[in-house]
Amino acid sequence: MPAERLPMRKIREVLRLKYACGVSDRVISRSVGIGRTAIAEYVRRAAVIGITWPIPEELDDTALERKLFAPAGYNPPRSKPLPDWGHVHAELRRRSVTLALLWEEYRGHHPDG
């Protein structure tokens, strides 16, 4: 079961200490009382959505939480085609067929990867 999310007050404090004060994750950890990995995750999430300090006025706690913890929704289709793993598996069963050989064939058909 996942742990409960921190109050937005603490997350805002993490972002303030990181961006406005330039404090290390270790010092923030002691100050706020959360782990360094959690701090790194909140800072990473903020960087992904382009939020630094000061947080824009129009982002109240609810809006900030929605942006930071958006559900994993629609994933756009990959621009690169994936290999046919069933074919790869069947080919690897054959004698003298290596993964490197299959990779070279794949790259020949798909030069962009």
The pLDDT tens digits for 13-50 are 999 999 999 999 999 999 999 999 999 999 998 888 88
Distant-in-sequence, close-in-space partners of 35: CB < 8 Å, separation ≥ 6: 29
What's the pTM? 0.59
Instruction: Judge residue 46's burial from the number of C-beta atoms within 10 Å of its C-beta, 0-12 exposed, 13-18 middle, 19 or more buried.
Output: buried
Residues 58-112 pLDDT 10s: 888 888 888 888 776 655 666 777 788 999 999 999 999 999 999 999 888 888 7
Burial 13-27 (b: 16+ CB within 10 A, else e): bbbebbbeeebebee
- Give the span between the Cα atoms of 111 and 113, in whole angstroms: 5
Residue 73 Cα to chain centre, angstroms: 14
Residue 70 has phi, psi (to 5 degrees) of -65, 140
Q: Is 99 helix (H, G, I), strand (E, B) or coil?
A: helix
